[in-house]
Amino acid sequence: MELDSIRSFIAAAGLAFRGAFHPDLEDAPPILPNGVSPGTLVLVGFTGNGQWSAFAASPEASDGRPDPLDRWSRRTVSDLARRVCATPLFPFCGPPFLPFQLWALKAEPVHPSPLGILIHPDWGLWHSYRGALAFRERLTIPQKDPHPSPCDTCSGKPCLAACPVGAFGSAGYDVPACIGHISGHHGADCMTSGCMARRACPVGGIHRYGNHQAGFYMQAFLRANR
């Protein structure tokens, strides 16, 4: 199957094409059910708020059961994989967990940001990976855009100064400080509109999550760390 056809199937499933690459052994690709390593990995996910409506309208989003987005992703990516004759892979199945961040660095022009989130030159920090399609074949794929990290030329790094409790610094991410803040009334803005440090990034601001999407992620993050 040609990559253009695969991209059409991805879009029809309510997902975004997030790049593709030919994995080496150092990329730790899983062995496929037929006993061979994949020749091509195609990543799929969300970019900005463009795909959120597909999940929000799904049965999983309103059934009240745990992990609705992961369950929607498993169903949607698995169905997509059957349509394009691929094996579905997921970032949330583990341990051990598949190295999706490593794969993303190989698949498209993303770079580590000071917040630890991968930053994209267009989408900024407003994107995510919901799964991957593993193909046995080495598909013909475009060369990855060599776009440098926007953080390299960012003046002042406003993301590092925006957190009210200084959770981001030279020592890394202070998770307890972050959780303590968003658990109280002073963290209501972060819980409603998303992390203030993330919102301070000037890259891709037009793609910022809406309050429904941001609040969903923040609630999920809080539950996972309590």
Are 142 and 160 contained in the same domain? no
Are 142 and 99 contained in the same domain? yes
Are 141 and 162 contained in the same domain? no
- pLDDT tens digits for 125-181? 999 999 999 999 999 999 888 899 999 999 889 999 999 999 998 888 999 999 999
Given 98, 123, 148, the domain boundary residue is 148
Q: State yes or no: pLDDT of 1 exceeds 90.
A: no
Q: Which residues of 95-129 are buried (b: 16+ CB within 10 A; e: fewer)?
A: eeebebeebbbbbbbbbebbbebbbbbbbbbbbbb
Domain housing 74: 3-148
* Amino acid at position 199, single letter: R
Are 28 and 134 contained in the same domain? yes
pTM to 2 decimal places: 0.95
How many domains are there within the chain?
2
Are 140 and 186 contained in the same domain? no
Are 115 and 75 contained in the same domain? yes
Are 171 and 68 contained in the same domain? no
Are 144 and 190 contained in the same domain? no
- pLDDT tens digits for 48-92? 999 999 999 999 999 999 999 999 999 999 999 999 999 999 999
Given 98, 115, 148, the domain boundary residue is 148
Are 144 and 159 contained in the same domain? no
Are 109 and 216 contained in the same domain? no
